[in-house]
């Protein structure tokens, strides 16, 4: 029997009023103000700390996206589909196993720092310690997995070893949770972006020098390590001498009691996002992995947008929750509409322009990636919806429900990949991704009677995302 959390039911009777509250300005004036949307929207957003934080994060990830696509496509053409597939197979394997490293603690730690920043050093120091230990375990498991799945492939084992080593040092990035809680991510954007650009210059150097695929993995590991060390230095300086980083086992165990469903959920999410690569590698070979990796590279690069948006909107959503169910539901609907509007703005042009984008970036060698990208990109729409719903589940402490949704999506993804890839090739993996994300992030919202309010809000947002602009224009 599926659990039905009674706490959520208090928001159900207010759904109609919440929708009316979210849309009221637009209904009073359906036409007036449209011409002033850009100016008023810009002025209002510029005054909001959460929007400023989002803008800084967007600038950081957007800059990374442009450089990564340009240099990454050059690297793909240089390495060829086989070696590019080898590199991406190793990335997928380490990413799946390493997805356990965050331990689901991010949002919980941000919430605790917002409530009581005087203990920020303890929260962050504890998270770093737990994650470093987990990363070491995951590194060993990654090496064991590659030797079991692809025995005798020494070059692949060496690449996996480099990635795994990088993830251990990267755990020092946990300090960024302090800046997320303060809505001050701008302080990390510039130094991290400078590091990223420097590493990509070195990557170009590897191409010009004719280096092997192994050295690309070395460079990736160095980038992860330097990013962690850089974040650590900035956090220590920001905390000051009166708030040292300190490991506290009791705090860590307290966090784990609340976060383990999120940790398992994060692992499951990464499995069903990356399992297609592993299945393709096992059934179709490295060349097919390379083509599929080219198809999903641009859409996956946009995965950061909902994460950044959620971290920026979370503090405001927490405050709105205290104003009552009606105001809270109205805020949730606005959030869903913001997420969906941005998702459409990404998915529509990428899907329509997929063949042209693939040709521009990867040339004819990867032409088969175009149709795959047209389908795969729509998984982003449901990723946006799922992340937006996740903020609500976190606020209400319904982490076990989040775990249920994720595990169901994982089961759907595994089933779909094993059924569709043998029949449709790499296109089957794209179909599997869209189907599993849609089921997990949207359709399952209607299973629990007390969660159907969230499902209706998601559906309303899918059908009328533009109303968030009309509302802000008045």
Whether 54 is in a domain gets the answer no
pLDDT at 164 over 60: yes
Please give the pLDDT value at position 243. 74
Please give the pLDDT value at position 426. 92
442-460 mean pLDDT? 85
In this predicted structure, which of 27-31, 95-99, 193-197 has the lowest mean pLDDT?
A: 27-31
Whether 59 is in a domain gets the answer no
Same domain, yes or no: 469 and 323: yes
- Whether 403 contacts 263, CB under 8 Å: no
Same domain, yes or no: 123 and 230: yes
Helices 249-283 and 120-149: crossing angle in degrees, nearest 10, is 30
Same domain, yes or no: 236 and 93: yes
Same domain, yes or no: 117 and 36: no
Q: How many Cβ atoms sit within 10 Å of the Cβ of residue 198?
A: 12
pLDDT at 378 over 70: yes
Q: Which of 184, 214, 247 is the last residue of a domain?
A: 247
DSSP 242-272: TS-----HHHHHHHHHHHHHHHHHHHHHHHH
pTM: 0.70
Whether 69 is in a domain gets the answer no
> Who has greater pLDDT, 345 or 312?
345
CA–CA–CA angle 370, 373, 379 (5° rounding): 170
Tokens of 305: 């947008």
Same domain, yes or no: 342 and 451: yes
Q: Which of 222, 247, 272 is the last residue of a domain?
A: 247
Same domain, yes or no: 26 and 99: no
In this structure, which long-range contacts are made by residues 461-464, counting pairs with CB atoms below 8 Å and at least 24 apart in sequence? 461/333, 461/336, 461/337, 461/339, 461/340, 461/385, 462/340, 462/385, 464/337
Please give the pLDDT value at position 48. 55
Please give the pLDDT value at position 351. 94
Q: Among 120, 76, 123, 82, which Cα is nearest to 103's?
A: 123
Average pLDDT along the chain: 80
End-to-end C-alpha distance for the chain, whole angstroms: 47
Whether 176 is in a domain gets the answer yes
pLDDT at 264 over 70: yes
pLDDT at 234 over 80: yes
Alpha-carbon gap, residue 472 to 474, rounded angstroms? 6
Q: How many Cβ atoms sit within 10 Å of the Cβ of residue 42?
A: 11
Same domain, yes or no: 12 and 133: no
Alpha-carbon gap, residue 84 to 291, rounded angstroms? 9
Same domain, yes or no: 438 and 458: yes
Same domain, yes or no: 110 and 152: yes
Look at the alpha carbons of 317, 322, 328, 334 in this order and tell me if their dihedral is positive or negative: negative
Banded pLDDT at 298 (limits 50, 70, 90): confident
Same domain, yes or no: 394 and 305: yes
Alpha-carbon gap, residue 166 to 226, rounded angstroms? 9
Same domain, yes or no: 408 and 264: yes
Whether 420 is in a domain gets the answer yes
Same domain, yes or no: 381 and 463: yes
Whether 153 is in a domain gets the answer yes
Residue 152 lies in domain: 83-247
Q: What are phi and psi of 448, to 5 degrees?
A: -85, 125
Q: Which of 228, 247, 266 is the last residue of a domain?
A: 247
Please give the pLDDT value at position 15. 61
Whether 55 is in a domain gets the answer no
Whether 201 is in a domain gets the answer yes
282-305 mean pLDDT? 86
Tokens of 468: 């968030």
Helices 106-115 and 304-321: crossing angle in degrees, nearest 10, is 40
Domain count, the chain: 2
Banded pLDDT at 18 (limits 50, 70, 90): low
Measured between alpha carbons, how far is residue 462 from residues 69, 336, 418, 457, 468 in Å? Answer: 29, 8, 30, 9, 12
């Amino acid at each position: 029997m599926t659990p039905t959390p009674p706490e959520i039911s208090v928001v159900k009777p207010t759904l109609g009023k919440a929708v009316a509250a979210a849309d009221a300005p637009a209904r009073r004036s359906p036409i007036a103000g449209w011409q002033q949307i850009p100016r008023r929207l810009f002025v209002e957003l510029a005054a909001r700390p959460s929007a400023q934080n989002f803008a800084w994060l967007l600038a950081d990830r957007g800059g990374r996206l442009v450089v990564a696509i340009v240099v990454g496509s050059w690297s793909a053409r240089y390495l060829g589909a086989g070696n590019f597939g080898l590199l991406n197979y190793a990335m997928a394997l380490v990413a799946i196993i390493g997805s356990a490293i965050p331990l689901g603690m991010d949002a919980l730690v941000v919430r605790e720092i917002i409530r009581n920043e005087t203990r920020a050093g303890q929260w962050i120091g504890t998270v770093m310690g737990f994650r470093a230990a987990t990363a070491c375990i995951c590194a060993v498991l990654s090496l064991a997995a590659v030797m079991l799945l692809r025995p005798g492939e020494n070059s692949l084992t060496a690449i996996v070893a480099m990635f795994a080593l990088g993830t251990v040092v990267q755990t020092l990035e946990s300090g960024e949770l302090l800046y997320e809680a303060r809505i001050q991510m701008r302080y990390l954007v510039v130094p991290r972006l400078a590091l990223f650009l420097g590493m990509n210059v070195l990557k170009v150097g590897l191409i010009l020098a004719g280096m092997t695929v192994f050295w690309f993995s070395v460079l990736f590991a160095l980038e992860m390590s330097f990013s962690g060390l850089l974040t650590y230095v900035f956090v220590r300086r920001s905390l000051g001498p009166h708030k040292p980083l300190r490991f506290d086992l009791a705090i860590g165990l307290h966090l784990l009691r609340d976060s383990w469903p999120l940790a398992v959920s994060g692992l499951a999410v990464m499995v069903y996002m990356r399992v297609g690569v592993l299945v393709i590698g096992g059934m179709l070979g490295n060349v097919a992995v390379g083509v599929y990796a080219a198809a999903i590279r641009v859409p996956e690069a946009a995965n950061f947008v909902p994460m950044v948006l959620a971290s920026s909107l979370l503090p405001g959503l927490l405050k709105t929750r205290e104003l009552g169910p009606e105001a809270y539901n109205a805020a949730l609907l606005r959030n869903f509409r913001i997420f969906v509007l941005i998702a459409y703005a990404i998915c529509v042009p990428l899907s329509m322009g997929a063949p042209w984008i693939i040709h521009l970036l990867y040339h004819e060698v990867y032409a088969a990636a175009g149709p795959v990208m047209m389908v795969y990109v729509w998984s982003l729409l449901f990723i946006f919806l799922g992340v937006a719903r996740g903020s609500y589940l976190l606020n209400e402490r319904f982490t076990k429900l989040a775990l249920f949704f994720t595990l169901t999506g994982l089961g759907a993804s595994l089933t779909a990949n094993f059924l569709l890839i043998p029949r449709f090739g790499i296109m089957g993996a794209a179909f599997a991704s869209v189907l599993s994300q849609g089921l997990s992030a949207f359709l399952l919202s209607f299973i629990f009677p007390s969660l159907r309010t969230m499902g209706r809000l998601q559906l309303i947002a899918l059908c009328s995302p533009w109303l968030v602009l009309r509302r802000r224009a008045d």
